[in-house]
């Protein structure tokens, strides 16, 4: 099953500064931490909802290879409105989706894995009797949220119609700690900082030169969903010219076409993945996942108990 994640960083003019830099922390912004947490848990399809100062937020997160959707009504919108944007975008590809607002960035990788392993429906993490984030929404929960027309919050919307969420007790205070929580925020942030050490493997294919890697994968997935190179570039924070440069470079090294063109129209026509392009994308994602899993196993084997970190 493919798992996706949505984070709401639309913010507001009053609270956006908190997304830019955490108190007393200068390594990652709150939104960056959320992206890192999801990626460490093996989630590739991550959607970040932006709004206030969207270009700044998207520029800071571009290197993470995630998708950006803008909530133009961020000043008056509820969190549920941003959730719906992300869920609608991911619903056809993902069987489960995790949601976490960007102002709750200190949840642990292990918590995400426990949420995904839980059975019985949508799952809410609970620590010391208090519910927190991220929330794991299953396929029926995705449909329920997208169909919900009331004025309640996310949890009430999920439980509408008698549907009950699974409440999963975890030992992770980070699910409760927002970036405006004063001393608690600083304490939890320091604990979280200590847990960030991990291996990072960047997988690329090379022929005469490197031509296929994470950036190419992100671009191709967006083209496959959107049917447009221009829209795909916009969703990934990439210039249109750079997008075509990446495609042409890959096709030159491969010796075959991976993106089909449908010229015409004021928007430049459509685009689609060829049969070989789709197969290459699937194989690369499988290869990348297995390499990352092997890297974590080797890392644990070599470094666990070394007392170096």
296 falls within a domain: no
> pLDDT digits over 67-108, tens only?
999 998 888 878 899 999 999 999 988 999 999 999 899 899
56 falls within a domain: yes
DSSP letter at 17? H
Q: Are residues 105 and 179 in the same domain?
A: yes
- The CATH number linked to 268 is 1.10.10.10
Write down the pLDDT at residue 52: 86
Q: Are residues 46 and 88 in the same domain?
A: yes
Q: Are residues 213 and 187 in the same domain?
A: no
Distance CA 76, CA 82 (A): 11
With bands split at pLDDT 50, 70 and 90, how would you rate the model's confidence at 16?
Answer: very low
Q: Are residues 189 and 209 in the same domain?
A: no
300 falls within a domain: no
295 falls within a domain: no
- Strands 67-70 and 3-9 turn out to be unpaired
Distance CA 55, CA 68 (A): 10
Q: Are residues 155 and 286 in the same domain?
A: no
Write down the pLDDT at residue 45: 92
> pLDDT digits over 38-53, tens only?
998 889 899 999 998 8
249 falls within a domain: yes
Closest CA to 236 of 77, 89, 26: 89
DSSP letter at 122? S
39 falls within a domain: yes
Which domain-ending residue is among 171, 194, 217?
Answer: 194
Write down the pLDDT at residue 33: 87
What does pLDDT average to over the chain? Answer: 85
Q: Are residues 45 and 169 in the same domain?
A: yes
Write down the pLDDT at residue 190: 64
The answer to whether residue 273 scores a pLDDT higher than 60 is yes
Close Cβ partners of 145 (under 8 Å, ≥ 6 residues apart)? 80, 83, 84, 87, 137, 154, 157, 158
Q: Are residues 188 and 209 in the same domain?
A: no
301 falls within a domain: no
Write down the pLDDT at residue 26: 45
pLDDT above 70 covers a percentage of the chain that reads: 85
The boundaries of the domain holding residue 94 are 3-194
Q: Are residues 230 and 173 in the same domain?
A: no
Write down the pLDDT at residue 198: 73
Q: Are residues 28 and 173 in the same domain?
A: yes
182 falls within a domain: yes
- The CATH number linked to 55 is 3.90.550.10
Which domain-ending residue is among 131, 163, 194?
Answer: 194
Closest CA to 145 of 160, 166, 167: 160
Q: Are residues 23 and 70 in the same domain?
A: yes
Write down the pLDDT at residue 268: 55
Q: What is the pTM of this model?
A: 0.78
Domains held by the chain: number: 2
The answer to whether residue 18 scores a pLDDT higher than 60 is no
Q: What are phi and psi of 67, to 5 degrees?
A: -100, 140
Q: Are residues 186 and 251 in the same domain?
A: no
Question: Residue 178: is the preceding peptide bond cis (ω within 30°)?
Answer: no
Burial of 41 (0-12, 13-18, 19+ CB in 10 A): buried
Q: Are residues 46 and 160 in the same domain?
A: yes
């Amino acid at each position: 099953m493919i798992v996706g994640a949505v984070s709401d960083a639309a913010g507001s003019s009053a609270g956006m500064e908190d997304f830019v830099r955490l108190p007393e922390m200068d390594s990652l912004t709150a939104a960056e931490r959320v992206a890192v947490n999801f990626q460490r848990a093996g989630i590739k399809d991550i959607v970040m909802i932006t709004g206030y100062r969207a270009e700044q937020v998207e520029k800071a997160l571009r290197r993470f290879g995630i998708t950006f959707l803008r909530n133009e009504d961020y000043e008056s919108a509820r969190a549920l409105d941003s959730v719906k944007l992300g869920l609608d975008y991911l619903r056809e590809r993902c069987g489960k989706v995790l949601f976490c607002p960007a102002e709750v960035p200190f949840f642990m990788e292990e918590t995400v894995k426990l949420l995904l392993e839980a059975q019985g429906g949508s799952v809410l993490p609970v620590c010391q009797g208090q519910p927190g984030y991220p929330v794991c929404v299953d396929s029926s929960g995705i449909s329920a949220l997208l169909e919900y027309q009331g004025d309640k919050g996310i949890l009430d919307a999920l439980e509408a119609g008698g549907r009950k969420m699974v409440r999963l007790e975890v030992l992770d205070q980070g699910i409760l700690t927002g970036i405006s929580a004063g001393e608690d925020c600083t304490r939890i942030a320091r604990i979280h900082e200590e847990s960030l050490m991990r291996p990072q493997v960047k997988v690329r294919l090379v022929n005469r030169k490197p031509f296929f890697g994470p950036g190419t994968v992100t671009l191709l997935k967006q083209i496959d969903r959107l049917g447009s190179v221009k829209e795909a570039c916009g969703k990934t924070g990439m210039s249109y010219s750079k997008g075509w440069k990446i495609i042409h470079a890959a096709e030159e090294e491969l010796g075959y076409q991976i993106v089909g063109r449908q010229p015409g129209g004021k928007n430049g026509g459509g685009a689609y993945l060829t049969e070989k392009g789709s197969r290459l994308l699937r194989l690369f994602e499988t290869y990348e996942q297995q390499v990352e899993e092997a890297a974590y196993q080797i890392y644990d084997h070599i470094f666990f108990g070394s007392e170096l970190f």
